[in-house]
Structure 1
């Protein structure tokens, strides 16, 4: 049963549902952090795919108040867009003045005014068959016992924050680790639905991340994409050359401090072995396939939808192509597919 939302959150949910209905991938309530400081919340983060070669990332600022201070919100939204390096921004406001919309247009900020919001609340597009963000968070907190049980909410907030500034291989590897963690939690709980919610939402974020990474490699050969993905999953954003350089620096430092013969070479070899043990080739082979990477955006939206269904589906009820994403991630972490695809 969904809780009755306050005026602000209700508007955010309605506008999120609207953008979902017109084809965007949408994340609500992304915290923008700088180092360890919480700077601000982005009401909605939109990710769109208009063609094989084109992606857009937008921030949406929403104020559903009697005194919305719309002109100030335009400055705020535009500033956030520029700081985050996004492609555009929108402001949703109850303000009805035409000057607000015109000011937004002058500064390339789209304004969804009070007339639009009034129409939206009556539209089917603002009411989708899914739970809201508040219910989602309440469920995962209840079943993970807050910070005592792995701090699922903290992990989820971190996952959303990565959508703003970590659509890279470092971000992808962080999402993979999240998925592995939730997979390990499936059998430890009497109710597996919250774990599956977290698996599905983490997979959706991962797929959008890989889609963003590969957007500039659409015309590349299969082997080129495979090599790019292998290096990224194995060594992270910095790549193999940087990892090897750091390994050599670390071994040289150890050698200058410890006189034990061969220790520095052993350390350097151990670092190389650890990188080679990562089964990055499993992921690289799968995601480099043309039919897979072409479907990443749509598959990301599909898994996001699974995560927010009132009754979370088990993997066995998903279509074959959705199961394939779960299967390859299970393979990557040496998990038994049969125990995952239940």
Structure 2
């Protein structure tokens, strides 16, 4: 399948671009629900005050889940385009939002870097330093907007997959990348260097992406709610054991835990568990809306966190060495998700291209 980028409006990073009704587009409600679960996990994982145990569990599979779902949707809903057309569409859907939200984060950083606690960390940094992150796409250098590294990673991963998919089946790509990823994560992070445009995580991201694409045509998930619930519960115990035993995983930082085998196994079990659990949530309208607007949530929640943290700092809420706790993490996460609704309306009215969308075309009534 050559033109899969047409489906990126439904994919993990760019679902926010899609305004049409799910039924009209042949959407998969389970996949949209799974994307909603994934992005909520990401939002909560980025909030200050979240327990370390949650971070270990969520990070064990939520980024692989996004690549897996993107590959699934690409394979299931893609349409034929030339490779050049595919890249242009990918750039519009992923790189334009990347640039727009980097500039928003950069602008906020410039305005606030000399205020309060930020002055100690950023006050001496030259104003142009964050631009290195923009032009290289290296995750740790994108500190003015840490979440958008995923847009570059998904662009590169999808572009490579589309090119290879013309010659090999998704399953063959997945198996080849599993071997390469296994060797890669066992050696490359030790060098302590980073490659631009997410090339240093490409073996891992492409494995999960291709695995999702292969699963789209082969995996048969239970349809009954009870069947999905029982299977999800059965997967939970081994996933918990593997994730906790493997320790911290952060793909953006090239951290994969203590064991290659545990990393891949925990990721697989976590992905399978979410796919089962998504069947229980797919009828909820709020879940479907979030699942269709994951790009918007991904790109805006960090900015909301920055503003709320700045307000809290100026108000002295965490003075005297006090630190944010779980209550704060839940509060700011809920606010970020709630604010995505008015922010969606604003972007669709003023700058739909910033979230990978086109301006809605309203038919004239006769």
Q: TM-score, normalised by structure 1?
A: 0.29
Q: Which has the higher contact order (CA 8 A, sep 6+)?
A: 2
| Structure richer in strand, relative to its length | 1
Q: TM-score, normalised by structure 2?
A: 0.28
